[in-house]
């Protein structure tokens, strides 16, 4: 159960979203409100796009709330598309490679959720990663494995690749009537377009909100301020698609596949 | 606002007190109950006496709840007198030398509290440390400065040295009618005897409890289990004295000095 | 290219071997002599057996030479069988789970060496780990994968299980005429018996020495002092077997298998 | 004994100087050539100026050579004036606040050197820090204390303030015929101007080189490549003054004061 924020819009200092708001991500690291765990102190990460086609990452195992480097970076880094994430680990070790976001080439990914019985399903999920991407598996989380599986499932169509991957994960957790839980609330970006997914199997999906203006779209686990009327909830089994130069759309995710399977 | 535990008694593995109880210190690191802050995730420390006359220390800047080294050490270290501490920082950096406990020769100290306007009073408090002990000031906390001031005030009489030091601190916070707050709930030990203090100026004192049996005495910031009838509260302005081979006594601390001053 | 020390004998404080000798492991962390890299500053670890049947571990990502916790622990921990290891990473991240030693039940393992083209062979090596041990793979090193493969190859016969595993690795690196390099200089223990292996394929083996007395046997990557006459080199393709209550034996390792294969 | 680099010139990505050159600062962290210690693995730091008047800082206790965050930041951060520093500690703890550079308002400072008997002189040096700057003393190094003393000695004339401060330090180390050693090779900047000092008392000064072009000036502890003809050594007891829009000048430092004193 983590908390995250994704931003796409005019180039801005990260501090306006990560550290300054009344219920900023840093506040959520020590006291989240809409989560089953309130403390997200198991490491954190920033990922941002700048002039270089590949994103930059800053990831640390210490809690976000006390990291002075994070405050300096949020003040000095400017970006048109960035992610920030505070982690509440669900079993895998507290290491930098296990902190979100993850990067692979031009793509960046972060996640709030879990695969119910990871110990039972880990090998199956890792087997979805193609050989040429397996060296990019530098950590041990379910989240990184899902990301690399999506990367290998035809990332030129990112929603399609994510649907293919999540359909497979859905069949894994439901195999032999197991009905393990799966929660997947994730963000994916390539430097210009941003995608945010809200999905779950055998469970409630984690919360996901967004706020769009002429200048920017901000997607969050929970609102950054107390004025909830500013924020729109993304429904379960939907994906928010925020392409550069277009207004964001929220469309069904995996519904047809699920209906076809039912 | 930190949480701590001190133990003196039969030699035991630390895990029986630090990691295993239902509301163990590790549980308190992520959710304390009797404190103004519930998260104590700004580092932690162990200090213990063994065959060597000087105590051993293990201090880390990461939260206690996710530190796998801590679990191994609590299982494998046995001691007749040990301290454990989880920190919620009040302004000074999250570094190992700023984590409790502190050691100086045979003596060990840990603290839950603060000096109200540390920035104004820091130089005065540091000036209480004698020159020969000033190289032992390796961190920047008020707690370490108080400890070294006590060490320099005649540590052969530990309660007297602490009274002299706290009387000075009391006059500092009250100087020129300032009425700054001071909270001092601390443990001090020399390898055989254990002292625990509860004191405050211009404020409520932080909580302090103990439980004594034939085998051991345990002194804590808050009870390790929900059966509060097992635990006795140390009154404000009192010190608990648990000398080796004697039953613990709780006696007034600084009262005469304060009465004399009033 | 790492440096390590293994000890089995009378119960002693670790400091006599880890921190005090003129060319102690701590000295070797900042300046090793018999290695292609002189700095072993990519984390370190201690593993030791005490009263509990499973070993304790202390692993850290910082260099050993500046870790004050390590000095305290080496002074206060006593053990009849312990490992200490300083790491020079060969490509995998600097995380605690990637630091040696590794533990699995009663067994403990550490390694100095590498598998030549780990990116090509990683999936094959990980496939040697049985399903029931795969949850114990908490890091990403080749060393941990080899250990868990050995654990799964019949650990009740530790030399046999290691031979089976290394024979497989040898065939992997030589597959299709690849002739990738493999170096394996490792220690394995179960709380009473100690095994140390020196082996390589398509390369020189890393150095390995031991010193035996009536009280103890010490096995090291390089001698702890300048008096090299005290130390005996373990030949390549040999294993040192130091069972509790017996004098150590050095016997050929994998020779028959290799001869049969040639 | 540390290694550092300072840059002032056209806005560039830090990687061109910090991570990419053949003998980059990162290379020097694991193997410096012109120093009494070859390993600078006791933490590191970046400091840079951007749009904000105050500099940004990234400081870490791990060695620079293995820090993946550092590589991302050096690729993504662009600056017209930045510092980078790798530390070899001379006695004070390995903590982030003890890593260079240090910042105070618009000013930034880093240092390679030491005050001979710091334990004896520490209180005298700290007493040079004015009360209003003492809260900025968040670490325990001699370097930070010297910086804050300079800040308090009239920083509007930075060379003068440094001369006043170093003259005092010189008298401290020479007091009562002590002849303690002092080495001071430091960089100071305010966002537009850069100053680099090379000075020592009772000892050889640490090396200092620079390379100036139409676009930029780079000042370093040791050359970043093997073509030493590109680099000019700053003589002992001199200061390099590189003001925005002017060609750099190298002028005597503290000579008159010393001559007057002799």
The number of C-alpha atoms within 13 Å of A235 and in the hemisphere containing its C-beta is 9
Which distant-in-sequence residues (6+ apart) come within 8 Å of B137 by Cβ? B126, B129, B144, B145, B148, D140
Supply C37's token pair.
């890299």
CB contact under 8 A, D59 and A69: yes
Out of C52, C69, C78, the one facing B59 most closely (by C-beta) is C69
At B228, the pLDDT band (50, 70, 90 cuts) reads: confident
C235 CA to chain B: closest CA distance, Å?
35
CB contact under 8 A, A76 and D72: no
Model confidence pLDDT, tens digit, residues B175-215? 988 899 999 999 999 999 999 999 999 999 999 999 999 99
Measured in Å, how far apart are chain C's first and last C-alpha atoms? Answer: 29
Of how many residues is chain C composed?
262
Out of C93, C119, C122, the one facing A96 most closely (by C-beta) is C93
Out of B93, B122, B137, the one facing D97 most closely (by C-beta) is B93
Q: Which residue of A has its CA nearest to D97?
A: A68
CB contact under 8 A, A75 and D57: no
| Distance between CA atoms of residues B4 and A185, nearest Å | 38
Model confidence pLDDT, tens digit, residues A112-136? 999 988 999 999 999 999 999 999 9
CB contact under 8 A, D39 and C42: no
CB contact under 8 A, A140 and C135: no
Model confidence pLDDT, tens digit, residues A83-118? 999 999 988 999 999 999 999 999 999 999 999 889
CB contact under 8 A, D58 and A75: no
Which distant-in-sequence residues (6+ apart) come within 8 Å of B258 by Cβ? B170, B237
DSSP string, C25-93: HHHHHH--SSSS-----S-EEEEE--SSSSPEEEEESS-GGG-HHHHHHHHH-EEEEEEEEE---SSS-
Longest dimension (CA), chain A: 52
Which chains sit next to B, with 3 or more Cβ pairs under 8 A?
A: A, C, D
- Quote the Cα angle for B87-B92-B96, to 5°: 60
Out of D31, D63, D93, the one facing C63 most closely (by C-beta) is D63
Tens digit of pLDDT at every position of chain C (262 positions): 699 999 999 999 999 999 999 899 999 999 888 877 789 999 999 999 999 999 999 999 999 999 999 999 999 999 999 999 999 998 899 999 999 999 999 999 999 999 988 999 999 999 999 999 999 999 999 999 999 999 999 999 999 999 999 999 999 999 988 899 999 999 999 999 999 999 999 999 999 999 999 999 999 999 998 888 899 999 999 999 999 999 999 999 997 544 444 4
Supply D246's token pair.
């002017």
| Distance between CA atoms of residues D121 and D119, nearest Å | 6
| Long-range contact pairs involving B117-120 (C-beta distance under 8 Å, separation at least 24) | B117/B173, B117/B178, B117/B180, B118/B90, B118/B91, B118/B92, B118/B142, B119/D134, B119/D135, B120/B180
Residues of A with Cβ-Cβ distance to C93 under 8 angstroms? 95-97, 138-139
Residues of B with Cβ-Cβ distance to A66 under 8 angstroms? 41-42, 89, 94
Q: Which residue of C has its CA nearest to A117?
A: C135
D107 CA to chain A: closest CA distance, Å?
15
Q: What does pTM read for this prediction? A: 0.95
| Distance between CA atoms of residues A53 and C197, nearest Å | 47
Out of B31, B63, B93, the one facing A63 most closely (by C-beta) is B63
Q: Which residue of D has its CA nearest to C31?
A: D39
C61 CA to chain A: closest CA distance, Å?
10
The number of C-alpha atoms within 13 Å of C259 and in the hemisphere containing its C-beta is 6
DSSP string, chain A: --EEEEEEEEEEETHHHHTSSTT-HHHHHH--SSSS-----S-EEEEE--SSSSPEEEEESS-GGG-HHHHHHHHH-EEEEEEEEE---SSS---GGGSSPEEETTEEEEEEEEETTHHHHHHHHHHTS-GGGGGG--S--HHHHHHHHHHTTTTTSHHHHHHHHHHHHHHHHTGGG----EEEEEEEE-SS-EEEEEEEESSPPPP-EEEE-SSEEEEESS-SSS-GGG-EEPPTTEEEEE-TTS--EEEE-SHHHHHHH-
* Number of inter-chain CB pairs under 8 A, A vs D: 45
- Give how far the C-alpha of residue C252 lies from the chain's centroid of Cα atoms, to the nearest Å: 18
CB contact under 8 A, B139 and D134: no
| Of D14, D5, D188, D219, nearest in space to D107 by CA | D188
CB contact under 8 A, C93 and A131: no
Report the complex ipTM: 0.94
The pLDDT, as a whole number, for residue C33 is 83
Out of C30, C31, C94, the one facing D66 most closely (by C-beta) is C94
């Amino acid at each position: 159960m983590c908390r995250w924020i994704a931003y796409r819009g005019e180039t801005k200092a990260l501090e306006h979203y990560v550290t300054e708001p009344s219920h900023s991500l840093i506040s959520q690291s020590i006291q989240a409100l809409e989560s089953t765990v309130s403390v997200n102190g198991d490491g954190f990460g920033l990922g941002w796009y700048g002039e270089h086609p590949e994103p930059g990452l800053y990831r640390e195992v210490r809690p976000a709330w006390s990291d002075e480097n994070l405050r300096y970076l949020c003040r000095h880094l400017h970006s048109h598309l960035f992610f920030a994430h505070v982690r509440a680990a669900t079993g895998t070790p507290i290491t930098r490679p296990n902190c979100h976001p993850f990067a692979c080439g031009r793509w960046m990914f972060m996640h709030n959720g879990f695969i119910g019985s990871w110990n039972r399903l880990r090998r199956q999920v890792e087997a979805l990663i193609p050989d040429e991407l397996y060296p990019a598996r530098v950590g041990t989380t379910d989240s990184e494995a899902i990301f690399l599986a999506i990367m290998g499932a035809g990332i030129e169509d990112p929603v399609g690749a994510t649907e293919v991957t999540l359909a497979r994960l859905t069949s894994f957790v439901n195999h032999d009537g197991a009905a393990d839980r799966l929660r997947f609330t994730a963000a994916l970006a390539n430097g210009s377009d941003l995608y945010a997914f809200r999905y779950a199997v055998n469970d409630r999906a984690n919360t996901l909100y967004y706020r769009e203006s002429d200048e920017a779209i901000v997607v969050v686990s929970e609102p950054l301020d107390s004025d909830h009327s500013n924020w729109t909830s993304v429904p379960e089994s939907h994906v928010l698609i925020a392409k550069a130069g277009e207004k964001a759309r929220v469309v069904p995710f995996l519904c047809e596949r699920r209906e076809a399977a039912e």
